[in-house]
Structure 1
Amino acid sequence: MTRPVKIAVLQFTSIGDVVLTTPVIRCLKEQIPTAEIHFCTARAFQPIIDNNPYLTGRHYLDGSLLTFIRQLRVEQFDYVVDLQNTFITGFIRVALGCRSYSVEKQTLRQWLYVRCKVNAMPNQHVVDRYFAAVHPLGVENDGMGLDYFIPYKDEVETDWLPATHQHDFVAYVIGGQSFTRRMPVMRMIELCLKINYPIVLVGDKNDRLAGDEIVRAIGERYVYNACGHYNLNQSASILQQARVVFSHDTGLMHIAAAFGKKVYSIWGSSSPQLGFYPYKTPHVRLETPSLACRPCSATGFGNCPMKHFKCMNNLPFDFDVKELRTKKKNFE
C-alpha cells in the first residue's frame, strides 16, 4: 500500500489571501494522487476552508504558536508549502523539519513601487506566484480559477431578501481593510446612483453605519443594507446570486471572482499592479489615472497621507455597465 504524501499549506494573513490559495490546494490534490493536503491558518478564516473538499486536515492557530507547532509535528508532514513567507511561517517551516517550498516575496519591488513610484512589479498575479512555489512538486496551474464552497445551511434563500431585491440585483461590497481602501460615503452614494439598479450592500457589522447612510440618501426600495446581517458564507451566497459585483479591494472581491462574477473593482491607495486584482474572471478596474502619489500603500492607511484623498475623491465614474442595460431601475 502506498503511503500518502502529507503536505501542509501555510497562509495566515487575510480572507483574500486564503481564498487566493484555493487553486493551489485543488491542483496539489488532483495532480499528486496520494496527497493529503492540510491547511494551516488563523481561526478567523475557518469558514473559508471548513467546506473545502480537497483538504484532508485543517489546523487553526488561535493560541500559543509553540502549542500549534507541537500539534503539527504529530502529523509528520513530508512537505510544507509556505504561501505567506514571513518570519512566523519561516519559524513553522524550520520547526517542522521537512522539505519546504515558499512563495517568492516581491518586497524590494513593492517598496520601489509604493515608496519611489518605480513600477518594477512583474506582470503576474499573486496566484501565479503561489504556483511557482509548488512547481518543484510537479504541480501546474489548471487555469480553473479560485474556489469557494458554501455549506447548505449558509445558502441565502430568495425570501431572506426584501421583495424588491429577490430576483435580480447588483451587489456592492462597501467595506475595506482600511480607510484609504474604501470610498467616502458620499462617493458610495454617487456610485449607487450611477449603477441605477437594485443594490444589496455587503459588508460586516463595521460597515453597517455607512450602509444605513446610503439607504437614507437613496431609499430602501432601491438599496438593501445587508452589512452585519449575514456571516461570511452567507455574504458569499449573496455575491453568488448577484448579476454583477462592485467591490473595493477586499477579500469579498476575491470570493466574487471565485464564482466567476464580473467584478467592478475599486482601487484607492493600493493598485492592481501589486498582483491582487480579480483572478480568472471578467473585471473592470476603477481607479484614478495619472495620480503621482498612488499607490501610497499596499495595505492602506487610516487616513490619506497627502490629506486630499484624490485617489477616491476624484475617481471617475465614466464606465458603462452593459449587463444592466436591459432592465434599468430609475432611482429618481
Structure 2
Amino acid sequence: MKILVIRFSSMGDIIYTTPVVRCIKKQVPNAEVHFLTKPAFKYIYDNNPYVDKLLLLKATLTETIDEIKAERYDCIVDLHNNLRTAIIKLRTGIPSSTYKKQPIKKWLSLKFKLKLIAPTHLVDRYLVAAKPLGVVNDGQPIDYYVKAEHQLSKLLPPSHQKRYTAFIIGATHFTKRMPNEKIISLCRELKIPIVLLGGNDVKANGDVIATALGDVVYNACGITSLDESVFLVSKAESIIGFDTGLTHIAEAFNRPIVSVWGGTVPELLGVQPYMVKDVLVAGIDLNCRPCSKFGLEKCPLGHFKCMNDMPLDGIIDFVNK
C-alpha cells in the first residue's frame, strides 16, 4: 500500500508527525510511506528510516499535484488540513483521511478563555487521521536523527564538555521568551555549567546573559548549526526551553526537560512534552493567558506577568536535583 502523509509546516508540528509516520510504516502491511512538506523543513525527515521518499512542495501547486498523481498513491493522510491540501485531495481524487483542527473551538477557547479543547496531545490528534489504516499509538517518543557525527570537544569549551544544562533561549515571538534578567536569575542558581542555544536572533541576548554570569555560561547562540544544536541537546544532562522547535526536538532524546510557557499554553495546541519520562511544564495561571495561539511581538497588556511573575524555585529544584 502506497501512502502519502502531508504536513507543510511548522517545525514543531512536523516533529509531532514522526510517530504517525513510524506507526504507519510498522503497522500497515507492506506500506510504502512518502511524506510531503516544504523544502525548509526537509531536515526533519533526513535519515528517517520510516519514510521511503520525501516529497518537497514545488514552486506551483500544479507541479506538486502532477508529482503526486505520477506516484499513484492508494491513500493520503492529510495532517495539515488547509486550502492547499484540500485542492490536492480534490484534484488528485485519491482517497484520504484528514486531521481535524477544530478552529472554532480553538478560537472560542482563546477569545473567551474557555476550555473547549481536550488536552489531548497533537500526536494523538494526528493519529485519529491514520486510524482508518488500522494504526494505533505505539507509545514511543518522537523521532529525530542527528545528521552527522559531532564531537563535544569541537563545539564546547573544556569546562562544559563533561556536564551541562542546555538552555534554549530562542523562540519566534517575544511573548514566548523569558526576559534576559529572569534568565540570569535562574541560571545563577543552577549547579552545573550552562550552554545557551538559539539562532542569530538571540545571540545578543546570549551575550548579555553570559557577560552577567561569567564562565559558567557558554553562549552557543548563532554559532552552532541546527544539527549541532540538536546534538548538544542530545548530550545535555537536562534541558530548559521555551515553546519553540528545538525544545520539541529535544523530546526525542528523553532527557529531563523544563518546558517554559509564557503567553501561549500547550494544552490548546496539544504540544506539551511528549513521551518524556522526567518533565516539568512551567507556567502561571492568569486571566489574560493565553493571549495568543502562537505568540506575539509584545504583551498586549504591557505587564508581561506570564514571564515576569513566574516563580523560579520549581525550575531550579527540578534542574538541580
The TM-score, its normalising length taken from structure 2, stands at 0.95
Distance in 2 between residues matched to 1:156 and 1:108, nearest whole Å: 48
| Preserved contact between residue 158 and residue 167 of structure 1 (Cα < 8 Å) | no
User: Is 1:272 the counterpart of 2:266 in the alignment?
Assistant: yes
Give the one of 241, 245, 250 matched to 2:244.
250
Matches for 1:132-211 after TM superposition, within 5 Å:
132-153=128-149, 155-211=150-206
Aligned-residue offset at 1:210: 0.9
The secondary structure found in structure 2 opposite 1:269 is coil
Q: The residue matched to 1:246 in structure 2 has which SS? A: strand
Which AA in structure 2 matches 1:94?
L
Deviation at 1:194, TM superposition (A): 2.8
Identify unmatched segments of 5+ residues in structure 2: none
> Residues 198 and 222 of structure 2 are in contact (CA less than 8 Å); yes or no, is this contact kept in structure 1?
yes
The letter of the residue matching 2:262 is G
Q: Counterpart of 2:297?
A: 302
One-letter amino acid matched to 1:226: A
Displacement of 1:87 in angstroms is 1.4
C-alpha distance in structure 2 between counterparts of 1:157 and 1:317, whole Å: 29
- Decide which moves more: 252-261 or 91-100: 91-100
1:232 to 204, 211, 226: 226
CA contact (8 A) 1:159 1:166 kept: no
C-alpha distance in structure 1 between counterparts of 2:246 and 2:49, whole Å: 21
Identity of aligned residues (%): 41
Distance change (3 Å), C-alpha of 1:260 and 1:183 = same
Per-residue CA deviations over 1:165-218 (Å, capped at 9, x if unaligned) read 001100011011211111111112122113242011111111211111111111
CA contact (8 A) 1:15 1:251 kept: yes
Structure 1 residue aligned with 2:307:
312
User: SS of 2:207's equivalent?
Assistant: helix
The Cα shift of 1:88 comes to: 1.8
Q: How many corresponding residue pairs?
A: 318
Q: Which amino acid counterpart does residue 294 of structure 2 have in structure 1?
A: T
Q: Given the alignment, which residue of 209, 216, 220 partners 2:211?
A: 216
2:320 is the counterpart of 1:324: yes
Equivalent-residue separation in structure 2 for 1:126 and 1:77 (angstroms): 25
Cα distance per residue 1:1-35 (max 9 Å; x no partner): xxxx1111111121111111000011100011211
Contact 1:78 1:99 in 2 (8 A): yes
Q: After alignment, is 116-125 or 104-113 more displaced?
A: 104-113
Distance 1:109 1:56 in 2: 36
Tell me, yes or no, if the aligned pair for 1:171 and 1:242 is still in contact at 8 Å. Answer: yes
SS at match of 1:236: helix
Quote the Cα distance in structure 1 between the aligned partners of 2:50 and 2:111. Answer: 40
Q: Partners in 2 of 1:315 and 1:293 — Cα distance?
A: 14
| CA offset digits 1:232-283 (Å, max 9, x no partner) | 2211111100001000011111111111111101101111221111101021
Distance 2:240 2:283 in 1: 13
The offset of 1:322, in angstroms, is 4.7
TM-aligned CA distance change 1:114 to 1:156, over 3 Å: farther
Cα distance in 2 for partners of 1:70, 1:227 equals 41
CA–CA distance in 2 between the matches of 1:278 and 1:226?
24
Distance in 1, matches of 2:158 and 2:102, equals 48
Q: Name the residue aligned to 1:69.
A: 65
Tell me the distance in 2 between the aligned counterparts of 1:324 and 1:151. Answer: 31
- How far the C-alpha of 1:60 sits from its partner, in A, is 1.3
Paired residue secondary structure (2:255): coil
Instruction: Name the Cα RMSD after superposition.
Output: 1.4
* Letter in structure 1 aligned against 2:273: P
Q: Is the 8 A contact 2:35 2:54 kept in 1?
A: yes
TM-score in terms of structure 1 length:
0.92
Determine if contact 1:182/1:248 at 8 Å carries over to the other structure. Answer: yes
Structure 1 unaligned segments of length 5 or more: list them: 326-332
